[in-house]
Amino acid sequence: MTTIIFANLNLISKFHNDYFREQRRSMVELLRQKGIEDKRVLEVMGELPRELFINPSLHNRAYEDTALPIDCNQTISQPYTVAFMTSLLKVEPGNKVLEIGTGSGYQACLLYLLGAKVFTIERILELYEQANVKFRELGYNINTRYGDGTLGWKEFSPYDRIIVTAASPRIPTSLKEQLAIGGRMVIPVGNKNSQVMCVLERISENDFKEFRNDHFKFVPLIGKEGWESE
C-alpha cells in the first residue's frame, strides 16, 4: 500500500511539473508575440517557476499575463512588465545589480539566473523574511537587506545596474549616486496612478542620459526619497 501511495504522489508531482512547464512555454510565446526579443530574458523566465512565488490558491493563474496579489497588500508584477524591465536593464553576467523592492523575490531570482551578483532591499519585514526563505530553498546566493530602498545600499556601491520595482515620484538622488559610470537604472516614475518607465544611464561623474518608455502602474515606492507611508 505504501508503495502505491508514493507512486501516486510521484505521478501527481509529474503532472504538476509538466502542466506548469507547458504553461511557462505558453507564457514565453506570448511575451515574444508582445515584442520581447531578449532571448536570455525569455530563457530564464521559461525556466523559473512563477508559481513558487505566489499563494497556492493562485497557482492556476501563475502564468496569466497579469499582476497577482502577494502578502502585505503587494503584488508580483505581470510577466510582460517583468520581461520589459529586465530587457531594458541589459544585464550582463557578472554585473553587480541592486534591486529596490524584493517583494516575492521573483525578479531577484531572474537577475541571479542571468548571472548577476544580486543585492535586493525590501522595506516590509514579512516579505523580506519570506524572500530569504525562498532564496535558501532554491540555493540562490542573493544578498538581502531589510530597510528603506530609496536610500540604496551604499556599502556595496557602485552598481552596474539598478532596478526599482515600485513607482517613484522622481529618481532618488541616493540611487543616482550609487550607479556606476557606464551603469544603467530602470525605474517607473510618475504619480500613484500611472508611471513612465525611465532608463537612466550614467555617462560620467555628473552627467546622466535619460530615456522614457511606455506607461505602467506599480505599487508606490515608500521611503525617504519616495512616497511617504500612508
**CA gap 184, 142 in Å, rounded:** 20
- Cβ atoms of 108 and 143 within 8 Å: the answer is no
Going by pLDDT thresholds of 50, 70 and 90, the confidence category of residue 230 is low
End-to-end Cα separation, the chain, in angstroms:
56
| 65-216: CATH, from 3.40.1230.10, 3.50.50.60, 3.40.50.150, 1.10.3720.10 | 3.40.50.150
pLDDT tens column, 73-87: 899 999 999 999 999
pLDDT tens column, 166-196: 999 999 999 999 999 999 999 999 998 889 9
User: Where along the chain do its domains lie?
Assistant: 65-216
pTM for this entry: 0.90
Q: Which residues are catalytic?
A: 77
pLDDT tens column, 39-79: 999 999 999 999 999 999 999 999 999 999 999 989 999 99
Q: Nearest to residue 160, comparing CAs of 96, 94, 208, 108? A: 96
Q: What is the 3-state secondary structure (H, E, C) of the chain?
A: CHHHHHHHHHHHHHHHHHHHHHHHHHHHHHHHHCCCCCHHHHHHHHHCCHHHHCCHHHHHHCCCCCCEECCCCCEECCHHHHHHHHHHHCCCCCCEEEEECCCCCHHHHHHHHCCCEEEEEECCHHHHHHHHHHHHHHCCCCEEEECCHHHCCHHHCCEEEEEECCEECCCCHHHHHCEEEEEEEEEEEECCCCEEEEEEEECCCCCEEEEEEEEECCCECECCCCECCC
pLDDT tens column, 126-159: 999 999 999 999 999 999 999 999 999 999 999 9
- Cβ atoms of 74 and 124 within 8 Å: the answer is yes
The predicted pLDDT at position 36 comes to: 97
**CA gap 89, 96 in Å, rounded:** 12
**CA gap 82, 72 in Å, rounded:** 20
